[in-house]
Amino acid sequence: MLRRTTVALAGSVTVLALLATACGGGTDQGASPAGKTGDVTFWSFVKGSDEVAKAFNRSHPDIKVKFETVPSGQEYYSKLTNAVKAGTAPDVAVVEYPNLPEFASQGKIEDLSGSLGPLVKDRFPKATRQLVDLGGKTWGVPRDAAPLMMMYRKDFFKQHKIGVPKTWNAYRTMTEKVKKADPDARGGVLYTDNPGLLTALSWQAGGQWFKAGKDSWKATVDDGPSKKVAGYWGDLAGKDLVRSLSTLDPFWTSVQKSETVAYVCASWCAGAHQATVPDQKGKWAVAPVPTWDGKPASGMYGGSSFVIPKGSDNSGAAAEFIKWITTDPEGMKAWVKSGTSSMFPADPKLVPVTKKAYGTEYFGGQDVYAVGADSYKSIPSGWTWGPVMGTTNTAIVDELPKVAEGKADLPEVLSDAERTTVEHMRQRGMKVTAP
Amino acid sequence: MTQSSTIDPEAPAAASPPASAPAPRPAKCRRSPKPPSVLLSKAGVTALLGLATLYTLLPLTWLLLSSTKSREDLFGTNGFALGDEIHLAENLDQLFAADGGVYLRWVINTVEYAGIGALLASLFSVAAGYAFDKLAFPGKERLFSLVLLGVMVPGTAMAIPLYLLAAEAGVVNTFWSVFVPGLVFPFGVYLARVFSAAYVPDEVLEAARMDGAGEFKTFCRIALPMMAPGFVTIFLFQFTQIWNSFFLPLVMLSDKELYPVNLGLYVWYSSALSQGHPEDYLLAVVGSLVSVVPLIVVFLMLQRFWKSGMTAGAVK
């Protein structure tokens, strides 16, 4: 069977090679020295990327950045992986934090320790730095952080005399009160298509899913704090105190219909929220995310960094571009030019830039960035994403829709995800220890 | 709607073969032909077809209704109800104006990839199939089994090898990287051989040759017109296949100006809600509706050929 397929592949492949050669037209650009001039191709799906490229080109006449929109999600990462394999990768690409270790450990991106390492060390807090440093080397430069916060309907809470919860215990009481006040309304969501929030809450509780050693990994997806968090949310979902919804239109429909009156999200959600549900202006407010012991603590749900894929032929200019879009006030200004992005810069010094650009009318003049800044400060350090997060996430996501029906036990889902992850890592030839 | 809902009075007897096993006289107790099971009765078949129709039409209904809604109504009203106002015209305006009118570019690209691609692919397939059927040349059957092997390999599995090849040839992120793979259609060659056997009698070719027509002229003037229904069938198959192909353009293309419409819609859809520009979500919905229209038009226009092609060789 294998041989037959190979023959067929070889056959069709030859045909295509002939055709492709016939159609000719090489687009190879000659390799240029690693100076800080020339063309830079830039792949991103992040809002504002086109504006950033334009602004950079205006202020840097020697470098010409060519921006190309790519889809987001797993499709993008397989596209990028294949591009590196084929030697057609861009010079700069966006990679979300959870996916960075996978690219780094497979040697698909360039080690930036020499060029941008000092910048990363200088500008970013430890918890953020640990997301792009791996094995003592720097692989990417953070753009935005995504500290947790809570969104809630001011009007609903006031009308039904519900207090803003500061602890997870109080949060639970809040969801009970919300359901009692309006049987159609809920005070939270367990997302069924994205484990990111659950992960961030494990991080907040002090969980550490992965640890990278010198030449081995440690996987503890179901450590104590994570199990506690999973048990808590599984229970809320099972008792129908929070809704189980996909992050896409089902969630936003529930917000639009006033069926979701509070939810935990990250800093960027504020902008997404006001853009998606514009007619609820003035009804929402932002609060610090509840914690287990009442002391401030947080985690990250989202966030992105920029990398130089292996095979880039202009890494000098690429590094210059990355530096500008992540740590230069002008670059940061270009990201948030639209005025509706509540992106939280990973470099704390740039918070005033984004804060100034963001209109606060939607949240009734509330200082969303102050809440974000406090949250950012309280993110515990030591969190590392795993080298096969795609596998880990899929293992969790597949079970999430079953949690509310009681067909899956959330803490156990974590244990299963750890097993699947460790298996996959070993298949890839990594050394893993898991308790 | 399950089989267990059978209400056949003779069912117990029919359902217990062991009891009647020693008696090899089935004809005797059979007054009339055994009544078909409920699933195969007229009402059953109609109901099943009705379900299938619903299954096919419900997503389209949602798409049609959602396309007429404003963004607030899209999230605020039931998916199968009308919104408060009809916003279809505004939505279409926005769709064709978004990102400097890139949507129209995507549609034109898709028509080029799928339309021209499928046209050429059908021509090549019909010519090859005809050659396999009518001409004798060394290694014919061996070559044909290679074609059959090509049928077995799913298109998605080919995307990565094709990509690596295209990178080698330096055509990644060009029109040709998506267009050229669409020209190869092994299943079409196989079909064309069957069609050629069914539609083109050897006698006609012999007559043409006697009258002095060369091989090429015989094919173009005699065989090709006779195989027209087959040509259209192959065209439609390949047209939908290219129209729906997603993974190949995804890996090959990164220039937005070259995207086919489905990839463009996916870019809008995938980052709309997570990146906080929900207007793209509505655009993706409206864009999906518009992108269905050409397919429907092509199918309606070519329906007659398509139908005659489907039953080709049924009676022979």
Q: For residue range A281-298, what is the model confidence (pLDDT) as tens digits?
A: 999 999 999 999 999 999
pLDDT at A242 over 90: yes
ipTM score for this prediction: 0.78
Q: Do A16 and B167 touch (CB under 8 A)?
A: no
CA gap B12, B31 in Å, rounded: 16
CA gap B196, B206 in Å, rounded: 15
Tell me if chain B has a CB within 8 Å of the CB of A31.
no
Q: Which residues of B touch A272 (CB under 8 A)?
A: 273-276, 278
Q: Do B267 and A86 touch (CB under 8 A)?
A: no
Tell me if chain A has a CB within 8 Å of the CB of B278.
yes
CA gap A164, B115 in Å, rounded: 59
Find the CB nearest A20 among B165, B250, B256: B165
Instruction: Report percent pLDDT > 70 for chain A.
Output: 92
**A147 with A372: CB under 8 angstroms?**
yes
Tell me if chain B has a CB within 8 Å of the CB of A14.
no
Q: Do A19 and B277 touch (CB under 8 A)?
A: no
Tell me if chain B has a CB within 8 Å of the CB of A87.
yes
pLDDT at B304 over 80: no
Tell me if chain A has a CB within 8 Å of the CB of B248.
no
From the options 1.10.10.60, 3.40.640.10, 3.40.190.10, 3.40.50.300, give the CATH code of A34-146+302-357. 3.40.190.10
pLDDT at A232 over 90: yes
- What is the distance, to the nearest Å, from the Cα of residue B88 to the centroid of all Cα atoms in its chain? 28
pLDDT at A7 over 60: no
From the options 2.40.170.20, 3.30.70.3270, 1.10.3720.10, 3.10.270.10, give the CATH code of B92-310. 1.10.3720.10
Q: Do A86 and B167 touch (CB under 8 A)?
A: yes
CA gap B107, B290 in Å, rounded: 9
pLDDT at A106 over 50: yes
Amino acid identity of residue A329, one-letter, is P
Angle of CA points A65, A70, A72, to nearest 5°? 130
Residues 326-365 of A with CB under 8 A from B: 340-342
Find the CB nearest B174 among A25, A45, A78: A25
The CATH superfamily holding the domain A148-300+369-433 is Periplasmic binding protein-like II (3.40.190.10)
Nearest Cα residue to A172 out of A296, A284, A252, A290: A290
- List where CATH 3.40.190.10 sits in chain A: 34-146+302-357, 148-300+369-433
Instruction: Tell me which chain B residue has its CA closest to the CA of residue A74.
Output: B270
pLDDT digits (tens, 9 = 90+) for B51-67: 999 999 999 999 999 89
Q: Do A17 and B165 touch (CB under 8 A)?
A: yes
What pLDDT, on the 0 to 100 scale, is given for residue B303?
79
pLDDT digits (tens, 9 = 90+) for A295-353: 999 999 999 999 999 999 899 999 999 999 999 999 999 998 877 788 999 999 999 99
Q: Which residues of B touch A23 (CB under 8 A)?
A: 169, 171, 176, 180
Instruction: Tell me which chain A residue has its CA closest to the CA of residue B182.
Output: A16
